[in-house]
A and B are shown apart, each in its own frame.
Chain A
Amino acid sequence: MNSSSGKSYMSTASSSVLWKAGGDVVADQFPAGLRVLLVDDDPTCLMILEKMLKACQYNVTKCNRAETALSMLRENRNGFDIVISDVHMPDMDGFKLLEHIGLEMDLPVIMMSADDGKNVVMKGVTHGACDYLIKPVRIEALKNIWQHVVRKRKNEWKDFEQSGSVEEGDRQPKQSEDADYSSSANEGNWKSSKRRKDDEDENDERDDTSTLKKPRVVWSVELHQQFVAAVNQLGIEKAVPKKILELMNVPGLTRENVASHLQKYRLYLRRLSGVSQHPSNLNNSFMNPQDATFGPLDLQALAATGQLPAQSLATLQAAGLGRSTAKSGIPMPLIDQRNIFSFENPKLRFGEAQQQHVNNNKQTNLLHGIPTTMEPKQLAGLHHTAQSMGNMNMPVLSHGSQSSQNNPLLMQMAQPQARGQMLNDSTVGLAPRLLSPRGQSMLSNGMATNVSTRNGVPENIRAPSYNPVSQTSSMFNFPMNHTSELPGNSFPLVSTPGISSLAPKVAFQEDVNSEIKGSVGFMPSYDIFNDLNQHKPQNWELQNVGMMFNSSRPSNSLQGNLDHTQSILVQQGFLSGQNRNSTVISKAMFSAGDSTGHVNAQNSNQHLNSLLDNTVRVKFERVADAAPANLYPDHFGQEDLMSALLKQQDIIAPAENNDFDFDGYSIDNIPV
């Protein structure tokens, strides 16, 4: 069914396949043959409508009493495609009938009345009518009623796909479950998309305060990984909650938990695939289609290649998920990450605690500099991937995966969706270079998007990020490894989604220079980056990314270790302005001239948007080879971090021309 449903989503023509019109052979001539049940107590209207419907080539059954209609429907549940009913009827109120039908048969129902008062129409809406026609009804109005049938079917299939059951209502409560995922924006987003079947990101707030019937399930990293593994095993198209649940074999987990998580996941994947909701795009989705430069960063592929550790993949996916689902998307990893990462690395200075969602926190870990804990697998994943990506412009996956440093940052610019988390990750690695000013949120896109993405952000991130990427493919090659010096630079990748600019080009690697430069302000540093062979684990990339790529701003927080020589990572602008909310300030610390090249890029990812102010302040921090520990303050709140950083560094390089055009990602602070 999935496949066919996919088709049917697409076109009504294909939906004819769905119509196995009770015996009618008109399946291919849809909407001809649509089986309509007409209910009206007025004989004149009944006659006219019947004639009209027949003129539309529908298959009409009429009755003048609601009771009769109901019994007809009950006897033959699948005998009708749609019901048209009058509002005012003597034996039963039309709305009552509507309710019955909705509950028992779940058919689309159109209400009709000569009454066009707003209240009545509203009542129709609230009772679930899919349309309301005002009498006198014209034939033109009837010609299109088939759309309601298609729409309903489409929704049903989606439901089916996602949760294994066709209950729409089922979902709502689940959403509340996910509330713990953190960003309500995500949640709202998810919900809305659920409802609307479109993939707008709006509705951040549709926060579901509703029925929280069950205790929330926290999708930890491990749990999510299990989930993803199960899904992959089943095949994304066939993954139904029941089977997933079985495969996961987690005690205490219910099918509903899985179903709702699956929904989110699917949404996430869809978003990744570039916005179109193609279930099939799932795998590619990590990359924004636009960001083709990266080439499809297929996380899964990456994972397959071993580049991306499974965990990372999961994380990333989770991150992605998180994003799309309005909630902080990756609920899991990210949230956990926060704990995991960041703070494991004390060094991470970055920290400004990301304001962003938790994700950010994770991101900070990206500061690769801190090899430690960044465990967040995600991070690792990211990095890892990043590395493998080589110079890919890897979309910064800002998943929380902030794999610790060595993992290539997967900066997948994964769709701009700012998965908040992603950015974190991405920023980390990428950060340093990336920030290609190009506005495109370079890596940040990937990352930025992730950054606490606000739903809106993704947009930004998306496109832009790739720009940089393309440019520099090598850009952020820093894959985190570069960060050699950057101690724990887990630049707090500000997960700001905004970090688009961070262009996850994480590949800052050496090549970064040119590319990144522009935005990254690192200009000079690019070379440095090149030099940075030392790849310190820092994930500048991430950091940079974190920098807030406040999307739209080219926040190039360069983070990267420039060990060599003074590569100074310019932290662009992120610091400036940003700070705003929790953006992590990632400072790239460059150990200019120092062998250590610790660069701690801290990106303050305030909303990436702010970064885009171009007030990039480049902070150069030359950190002597001091033990990184000093450098990285422990999780600091944003302010703390800032001050800590400031203390540590004395250098604050002026931001260079950052013309990062980060797409408005807002980089949340990347908690260090």
Chain B
Amino acid sequence: MELVQIQRSLVDYTKSLFMEGFLDAQFLQLQQLQDDSNPDFVFEVVSLFFEDSEKLLNELIIALDQPNVDFKKIDSHVHQLKGSSSSIGAQRVKNACIAFRNYCDVQNIEGCLTCLQQVKQECYLVKNKFETLFRLEQQIMASGGSVPTIELGF
């Protein structure tokens, strides 16, 4: 594929992610932080997020599986997940966390379980999206091009 095409694909793809709510403006902030001194910054941060979120999700599964559910703990985990997802701009994950917390507040286990599934799902989805995104970026860079910066014009 031609470089230009790849670049265009990247741009379009990124835009679609925003449109669909997978990403929000915070992601742009991340991208702006990336510079020559730190060209893989976004990649590193996102990777870190998924590592961390996986741990958290596992904890949540375990916690909800307990006979005596410790809602405080669950809330704490979800809170953290909410914070980190919002920091990278993973909007849908964040929203799912908010819903999760609401059920937690009312100590609704069923609701929590459902939300947990939802959060997991969203994480999975956005992870795929990111992977595609990074792949495109790598292709561009491998072709000698530069990754176009996305401007949210919409």
Taking Cβ atoms with an 8 Å cutoff, the residues of A that contact B are 41-45, 47-48, 51-52, 55, 86, 88, 90, 113-115, 135-139
> A44 touching B88 by the CB < 8 A rule?
yes
Q: Is B109 an interface residue (CB 8 A)?
A: no
Contact residues in A for B52 (Cβ distance below 8 Å): 42-44
Q: Is the interface of B mostly helix, strand, loop or mixed?
A: helix
Q: How far is the CA of A137 from the CA of B52 in the complex (A)?
A: 19
Taking Cβ atoms with an 8 Å cutoff, the residues of B that contact A are 26, 29-30, 32-33, 38, 41, 44-45, 48-49, 51-52, 76, 79-80, 82-84, 86-89
Contact residues in A for B82 (Cβ distance below 8 Å): 114
A663 smallest CB distance to B (angstroms): 52
Task: Evaluate whether A55 and B86 lie within 8 angstroms (CB atoms) in the complex, with A44-B45, A48-B45 already known.
Answer: no
Q: How far is the CA of A55 from the CA of B82 in the complex (A)?
A: 24
Task: Evaluate whether A135 and B29 lie within 8 angstroms (CB atoms) in the complex, with A43-B52, A44-B48 already known.
Answer: no
Q: How far is the CA of A186 from the CA of B79 in the complex (A)?
A: 47
Task: Evaluate whether A51 and B38 lie within 8 angstroms (CB atoms) in the complex, with A43-B52, A136-B26 already known.
Answer: yes
B112 smallest CB distance to A (angstroms): 18
Contact residues in A for B29 (Cβ distance below 8 Å): 52, 136, 138-139
> A136 touching B33 by the CB < 8 A rule?
no
Task: Evaluate whether A113 and B83 lie within 8 angstroms (CB atoms) in the complex, with A44-B45, A44-B52 already known.
Answer: yes
Q: A-B pairs with CB below 8 Å: how many?
A: 62
Q: How far is the CA of A650 from the CA of B112 in the complex (A)?
A: 89
User: Which B-chain residue is minimally distant from A48 (CB atoms)?
Assistant: B87
> B80 touching A51 by the CB < 8 A rule?
no
Of A41, A47, A137, which one neighbours B45 at CB under 8 angstroms?
Answer: A47
Q: How far is the CA of A52 from the CA of B35 in the complex (A)?
A: 12
User: Which B-chain residue is minimally distant from A51 (CB atoms)?
Assistant: B33
Contact residues in A for B79 (Cβ distance below 8 Å): 88, 114-115
Other A-B contacts than A88-B80, A135-B87, A136-B83, 10 sampled, CB-CB below 8 A, are A42-B84, A42-B87, A43-B51, A44-B48, A47-B44, A48-B45, A114-B83, A136-B26, A136-B29, A138-B26
Task: Evaluate whether A48 and B88 lie within 8 angstroms (CB atoms) in the complex, with A42-B52, A136-B26 already known.
Answer: yes
> A45 touching B41 by the CB < 8 A rule?
no
Contact residues in B for A42 (Cβ distance below 8 Å): 52, 80, 83-84, 87
Contact residues in A for B88 (Cβ distance below 8 Å): 44, 48
Contact residues in B for A48 (Cβ distance below 8 Å): 30, 33, 45, 87-88
B94 smallest CB distance to A (angstroms): 8
A47 smallest CB distance to B (angstroms): 5
Q: How far is the CA of A314 from the CA of B83 in the complex (A)?
A: 60
Contact residues in A for B84 (Cβ distance below 8 Å): 42-45
User: Which A-chain residue is minimally distant from B51 (CB atoms)?
Assistant: A43
> A45 touching B83 by the CB < 8 A rule?
yes
Q: How far is the CA of A42 from the CA of B81 in the complex (A)?
A: 9
Task: Evaluate whether A52 and B33 lie within 8 angstroms (CB atoms) in the complex, with A43-B48, A44-B88 already known.
Answer: yes
Of A41, A45, A90, which one neighbours B87 at CB under 8 angstroms?
Answer: A45
B89 smallest CB distance to A (angstroms): 7
Q: How far is the CA of A113 from the CA of B29 in the complex (A)?
A: 18
Task: Evaluate whether A135 and B44 lie within 8 angstroms (CB atoms) in the complex, with A42-B52, A44-B52, A51-B38 already known.
Answer: no
Q: How far is the CA of A55 from the CA of B38 in the complex (A)?
A: 11
User: Which A-chain residue is minimally distant from B56 (CB atoms)?
Assistant: A42
> A136 touching B86 by the CB < 8 A rule?
yes
Most buried by A among B82, B84, B88: B84
Q: How far is the CA of A660 from the CA of B32 in the complex (A)?
A: 64
> B87 touching A44 by the CB < 8 A rule?
yes
